[in-house]
Structure 1
Amino acid sequence: MRPDRGHILRWTASLVLTGMLAACATGPDANPRDPLEPMNRKVTQFNDAVDGALLKPVATVYQEVTPDPVRTGVNNFFENLRDVWSFINASLQLRPREAAENFLRFNVNTFFGVAGLFDVASEMGIERTRLDFGQTLGRWGVPSGPYLVLPIFGPSTVRDAAGFSIESSGDLVQGLSNIPTRNSLYVLRAVETRANLLRATTLLEGAALDKYSFTRELYLQRRESQIEDLIDKGIGLKDGSE
């Protein structure tokens, strides 16, 4: 069963408070963007242990035995759900074109793409813009805060973790009343997400001397670039830029 996001985020909040109290122990050479590094490294070790023992092996088997058309349909289904939050965030960012495109994508794929299993909207030339609530907060000037590693969910910042919490509370899968179906979708989404990262994980493990530092810098640079695009260029993030 997939961990409950609310419990994970409450646990993370407790860890953050503990880490802040211990931050002074990081010394003058501590990365100013990562004052919680000792705590973050411990959470990273926990995540790596869970991944190595459970997530990666399951995702590897899933990738090997699942036909590509089935995986494509599964990915399309969850991306279609994600388009709902992209529509909401585009609206909050006052981006009417991106909001209209994502709203149209969701409706076209839901009704004509068999609940999103087929990406009819892309075939019609309707573009996807991926936007999350962390980007929306950054778009309106909310600082990122310290780098933060979330249990299970990985790299984040205090701002992005807050946005993640808000989006989690409105997760369409969470709203399903049938518990077995809801839990099955949670597991399927987690496995599909991890399967999509298998190649990137292999490259990361082979290239990085310190995987923690490499992941941190990559995540922070990517997020900074996304927020700068939203503020300076006035554009959304097109599919594939993440």
Structure 2
Amino acid sequence: MPEHICPNGLKSKWQLERHGFQVEDHWLRTKQETEAFKKQHGVATTPQTFIEGKRIGGNDDLTRFFGGHVPGKDETSYRPIIALFAMTALMALAASTAAFGTPLTERAAMWFISLSMCVLAILKLQDVERFSTMFLNYDLLARRWVPYAYLYPIGEALAGVLMTAGVLRWLSVPVALVIGGIGAASVVKAVYIDRRELKCACVGGSSNVPLGFVSLTENLLMVGMAVWMLVR
């Protein structure tokens, strides 16, 4: 400080003030001051919060002190999935309103599924290597033919874009049926037959979402969308 901004320091100060504390803010202005402080108090990181002379700890420790939850490194979380589907639902409703003057249309339901496919594909394609590594743990086709682990997110993206546009159904429908059908069968076998505990690759290779309902839903939505378009 002052050239270096400490995000966790700002968070800690905000937490304290939010809970009614008056904060006496001590800046560590040089590398030497910081190292001397850490050595003096036997800590590895800064900032450190003290309340009435008692050391509480860093920002995560302060969050726990106030009764908040700090997610663990490998803790299961459905927050990414909830955020994703909430946003794609709102996007579909907004698009329907813009196109038809009302959010509640058949097209909005179709767009919700196709836009969800697009966003899920984006998350996978951000780091396709990590996705493919997780995917190979359970997908039946990918375990027999490794390139499919790299092609899956491309197929999902292609089907999602074409279904959103409502064009080239001769291509989008078979792609969605194949990858969705194989994906659903793979999840059922891995989770409900073999009883394996795995992480889901559905939101990319860095997620802590357990394999099961979410991935099965993703694949069944693709199959359902394809069947719906065939019927229509």
Do these two structures clear the TM 0.5 threshold for a shared fold by scoring above it? no
Structure with a larger share of its residues in helix:
1
Instruction: Name which one, 1 or 2, has greater alpha-carbon Rg.
Output: 2
Q: TM-score range by the shorter chain?
A: under 0.3
Which one scores higher on RCO, CA 8 angstroms, separation ≥ 6?
A: 1
